[in-house]
Structure 1
């Protein structure tokens, strides 16, 4: 028996185990609405019953009793008037009789409408009307139409008959009023019962509503707020770092699925944290390697700037001494060899200096601030004034804006771009260099255009690579590091640099730099330095 009951409970739990919060809410709301509809119907019936009894008592029973009393009063007035006229012979006694007849007719009419289909009350009314008609026929009418003397004789002769008929009429009216009073008492008792039933019904409705509200609150607490609070507390523990905390779900099926999904997310986060921890350790190792590499690079820069420079200066100095002292005293081969040695030492020194400058970008000079490019470009043009004058270069520019960056590196950028434009000029025409700028979102786009020898399409991607030369050192001197330096400076400032492929005559270098404000656009005013 116990096993059968346990199995039945398990089956019932299995039936409701798949119910979601929405389904529980729908079932609860539907049950509550049905219960409230039944209770409301019962309450409405109780109110209707009370209203019906009240209406019967107020609109029919009590008015009928009152009208019956008015009929009796009207008949008594008639009897009094007829008896007074018959005894005294005075015509003024007929006035109460006439008024009583009129009042009786009006009261009977109202009473008949109030009794409706009540058989016993109608029978009582018929008896009253019959006896009243007999009294008027035998006593009232003969006396009222006769003269004073004749009326007195008729009254005296029919006194006993009149008394007997009117007493019968009084008994009929008393019987009618007794029946109406009994019906009124019954209606009053029914009204008290109906009122008590209505009050009890509404008390039960209020109790049931309170019970339903309590059940709804308890159901929400157990089925929704309780499981959500438990899940929230467990989730907060996981958020505080207790990733070993399992999230077990309770309540409806959707909340259990939510807890399962959150727990799956926790397990995924644990796996991601494990992977991130391994990645972090690897990153720490790579950071240490990078620190060692930077340290070695700084040591190399120190060696290159001090230890390597000194031997090169000695080689260059002594080879130049040999050239000045023994130039023309040896054969042509010896002079050529000495010239090669001097040129190689000088180029090695230039190469080391350029390499040092390249390595310092972003490492030595890293002071981001607001930079006025007009001022930077003016200093650069002062530095290149000799080259500009010797080449006859004509440089025009827009009014340059203010950007965010390192002033030293930006000076190196302008110096390399302008010196390249001057160096790689065409032998057929004087150099013409144009510096333009346009706003581009939260940055400025600059363009340095010249009419020099240009760059072949196949070399446009290689010119930004370190030590890439497109010409021999005899044709154009240099180490091939200028555009690579420009690329590193621009990218260090979160910009881009490229060559415009649409330019056919000369070269156009386009690059971007971050602006102080993206709303300020530079005017198209050109100046001649």
Structure 2
């Protein structure tokens, strides 16, 4: 393509230069010379006419055209010498006219002006000499006209050659572009299509299909890099399959461990507790207070050990036993949880406030466990002199809907904010939802924010607040299993507020369910 452009540029420049030369010769030399020759002939005729008029009238004013014609002759001759110097044959004819004019003036015109006599013998030969001079001027004019005609033909020929050359240049460029397109198709596009097809086969799961490294150097290097990447993917896949097999075996062992924990380990504990209680009932009169205390310690330890094993078993089942993914209406889930906790909520005089909740993707059993643990904690860790007030809220997790401490001064405020955010998000694409459960209980100190989500970590003695300290750990595992995060809102000081996020259901289908809300329970 570079060669085509170079040759085309040179040919175009040469044709333009040829056309320019022909045009300049015609317009700047030949045509002005033709006009000057006509002006020269007129100047000589003016001189001859002026001399004859002066001879007849002897009036000096008739000599004015003679002098003007002489001046015009000299000027035109100077111009013609410059215009016709490069034309073959024309400078000699111009010199002949110039010398003839000089001889005519010197031999006839000037003597007749000096001695004006109409009967002078110089009149007849002077007229003959001037006729010869006029013939020379006519011959010069004829040659200049012929040169102008030749110049016009040369210019037209140059223009035709220019058009032909530019047509050839355009045709050459088109042919070059076609050749380049064919070369690109053969040398680049076809190898690229083969590379694309191979990459798609690998992307579709055929990881054993090799990626070709053919074509131009850059494309070949790209193919080699993709092939190296495929090799690493195959190696990583093999390693992942090996890890999956190990994980499968580990899960099988974990299933066996769960079975042992739920049956074999609990059976000795039940036996210890039962026989200790039988010992206490049968030999109670023979036992002193210390022995009674020891037996109570043994029974309590066995009972707590059973509770720990059951909680550990429930913790291990998160994401393993319960791992289905479906659309879950949190309103229905929360109604079911409230029903299960109805007696406990009524005994505590608890009030639960909640807006409409969205439909999300997840496991309904795990999400029910999540709400149950959070609401149970809010009831358990209440202030002795105040009935529990529990507020549940939800909003799209975005900067505009983030929970601000200033807007969350109480359960009612959160309820209002959650409902507004829910209503405003209907029909929009929501990536995830932010939820919160807050109460007016004893609260959690900010320095224990990380500790409360660790399994079996307690902040209070067992005789004050019962339990094993696994509730929030299970909540954390459930939320993280669903791809969310959970944290303690340290800015809320009127109790405890636990916040967490859950992914929304598929894009374009988010929003609250058609349930009209849960209402209040006292």
Fold-level similarity (TM above 0.5): yes
Alpha-carbon spacing, 1:295–1:362, altered in 2? closer, same or farther (3 Å): closer
Q: Which ranges in structure 1 are unaligned for 5 or more consecutive residues?
A: 1-20, 83-96, 140-160, 250-258
Q: In structure 2, which of residues 87, 102, 118 is the aligned counterpart of residue 123 of structure 1?
A: 102
**3-state SS of paired residue (1:433):** strand
Q: In structure 2, which of residues 280, 284, 288 is the aligned counterpart of residue 331 of structure 1?
A: 284
Q: In structure 2, which of residues 16, 20, 23 is the aligned counterpart of residue 44 of structure 1?
A: 20
**3-state SS of paired residue (2:451):** coil
Structure 2 residue 488 is matched with structure 1 residue 499 = yes
How many Å apart are 1:491 and its aligned residue? 1.8
The answer as to whether partners of 1:354 and 1:479 remain within 8 angstroms in 2 is no
The answer as to whether partners of 1:124 and 1:176 remain within 8 angstroms in 2 is no
How many Å apart are 1:368 and its aligned residue? 3.2
User: Aligned residue for 1:143?
Assistant: none
Q: In structure 2, which of residues 72, 78, 85 is the aligned counterpart of residue 113 of structure 1?
A: 72
Alpha-carbon spacing, 1:437–1:233, altered in 2? closer, same or farther (3 Å): closer
CA distance in 2, matches of 1:128, 1:64: 20
User: Aligned residue for 1:147?
Assistant: none
- Equivalent pairs counted in the alignment come to 442
User: Aligned residue for 2:263?
Assistant: 308
**3-state SS of paired residue (1:495):** coil
Structure 2 residue 213 is matched with structure 1 residue 245 = yes
Structure 2 residue 374 is matched with structure 1 residue 417 = yes
User: Aligned residue for 1:59?
Assistant: 35
How many Å apart are 1:175 and its aligned residue? 0.5
Structure 2 residue 444 is matched with structure 1 residue 465 = no
The answer as to whether partners of 2:388 and 2:439 remain within 8 angstroms in 1 is yes
1:408-432 residue CA offsets vs partner (Å, 9 max, x unmatched): 4333222111111212334455444
How many Å apart are 1:520 and its aligned residue? 8.3
User: Aligned residue for 1:90?
Assistant: none
User: Aligned residue for 2:467?
Assistant: 478
How many Å apart are 1:496 and its aligned residue? 1.1
Q: State the TM-score, normalized to the length of structure 2.
A: 0.63
How many Å apart are 1:486 and its aligned residue? 1.1
Alpha-carbon spacing, 1:455–1:52, altered in 2? closer, same or farther (3 Å): closer
How many Å apart are 1:518 and its aligned residue? 12
1:209-260 residue CA offsets vs partner (Å, 9 max, x unmatched): 67777887899899999589634544444444364535555xxxxxxxxx3x
User: Aligned residue for 1:445?
Assistant: 434
User: Aligned residue for 1:404?
Assistant: 360
503-512 or 482-491: which moved more? 503-512
The answer as to whether partners of 1:433 and 1:448 remain within 8 angstroms in 2 is yes
The answer as to whether partners of 1:454 and 1:507 remain within 8 angstroms in 2 is yes
How many Å apart are 1:513 and its aligned residue? 2.9
CA distance in 1, matches of 2:29, 2:438: 108
User: Aligned residue for 2:240?
Assistant: 283
User: Aligned residue for 1:369?
Assistant: 327
How many Å apart are 1:279 and its aligned residue? 0.9
**3-state SS of paired residue (1:418):** helix
**3-state SS of paired residue (2:436):** strand
182-191 or 198-207: which moved more? 198-207
The answer as to whether partners of 1:372 and 1:403 remain within 8 angstroms in 2 is yes
Alpha-carbon spacing, 1:104–1:40, altered in 2? closer, same or farther (3 Å): farther
The answer as to whether partners of 2:392 and 2:437 remain within 8 angstroms in 1 is yes
Alpha-carbon spacing, 1:408–1:244, altered in 2? closer, same or farther (3 Å): closer
**3-state SS of paired residue (1:399):** coil
How many Å apart are 1:180 and its aligned residue? 0.5
Name the Cα RMSD after superposition: 5.5
Structure 2 residue 307 is matched with structure 1 residue 352 = no
451-460 or 281-290: which moved more? 451-460
